[in-house]
Amino acid sequence: MKIINGIENITQRFKNPVVTLGNFDGIHIGHQRIFNRVIEKAKEIDGTSIVFTFEPHPSKVLSPSKKIRLITPYSKKMLLLERLGIDVTINAHFDKKFAEIDAESFVKDILVNKISPKYVIIGYNFCFGKNRQGDTEFLKKMGEIYGFGVEVIPKIIINDNPVNSTLIRKYIREGRISEANHLLGRNFIIIGKVIKGHSRGKALGYPTANIETPFELYPKSGVYAVKVEVEGKIYNGVANIGDNPTFGDKDISIEVYIMDFDGNLYDKELRIFFVDRIRDEKKFGTPELLKEAIKNDILIAKEILK
């Protein structure tokens, strides 16, 4: 997949472009339906499948006080788009100046002049331009003027809720991992590097890897059944997210116990796939009680992960 960062770096002409536009945080099953249709349409017309997205996420610029935490940071989003089979991803740098571009100018100066799409395929709720003035109907009218087709992908409803990134973030923050995974179409993942910890797990007989990550969104504090990828190999594991109340810590941390692994993990990158929640984080009266709880957590995780 070719990645173009900044619309000023669009220098080539694409063959029969089929474009979708949006933020696509999470790359959830609704987004995947759009991407699959873009790829399908591009194959029909011997064209190029293109995702046009924004970096940083517009909410970080327009509503910084909301402190939106992304499901898929930039690097993870690019990786997922490549795996899905997209030909080109264009990351438009979103700032306050970009936010002032009105919908018609966006279509004429960026979409048409820079990309010249044959088709634009968008989600049902896509809006664009200053103050979100452009919607699907407006885009269809622009398509008639500038000669590109527009296809709108309907929403996916699960349990009476439309699938969207906001709902998935809510599920993750609430620790409802299995529900979030269902809407993502895969297990929620955090990627991070192993750093030096307090070695408390090792003293208890269950050595854990302490994770430092650029990811912004964490599941609710608690204990989770996870799959862990270490240098291309997958292991079962148990992850603890929280502040280690038994030992009086205050900072949020991610610790992972990896079953059937014996080796040095320091400075290695781990991919932690969250499968389901086991229990809330709890303060134990003694390290021995904590050790017994960890033993039980491992048994439960094995049942979940088998």
CATH number at residue 33: 3.40.50.620
pLDDT value at position 247?
46
* pLDDT digits 0-9 by tens, 42-58: 999 999 999 999 999 99
150: in domain: yes
170: in domain: no
Q: 215, 188, 211, 217: which is closest to 268 by C-alpha?
A: 211
User: For residue 15, what are its two tokens?
Assistant: 């063959």
Q: 219, 151, 213, 209: which is closest to 184 by C-alpha?
A: 219
Whole-number Å distance between alpha carbons of 21 and 127: 9
Domain count, the chain: 2
Residues 148 and 64 placed together within one structural domain of the fold:
yes
pLDDT of residue 241 exceeding 70 = yes
CATH number for the domain that contains residue 222: 2.40.30.30
pLDDT value at position 244?
59
Residues 127 and 38 placed together within one structural domain of the fold:
yes
User: For residue 23, what are its two tokens?
Assistant: 């933020």
**What percentage of the chain exceeds 90 in pLDDT?**
86
Whole-number Å distance between alpha carbons of 152 and 155: 9
* Residue 231 domain boundaries: 187-305
Q: What is the mean pLDDT of the chain?
A: 94
Residues 34 and 77 placed together within one structural domain of the fold:
yes
Poorest-pLDDT segment among 127-136, 195-204, 230-239, 296-305: 195-204
261: in domain: yes
Give this prediction's pTM: 0.91
CB atoms within 10 A of CB 299: 11
Residues 216 and 123 placed together within one structural domain of the fold:
no
Spatial strand order of the sheet with 2-5 comes to 2-5, 88-93, 48-55, 17-21, 119-123, 149-153
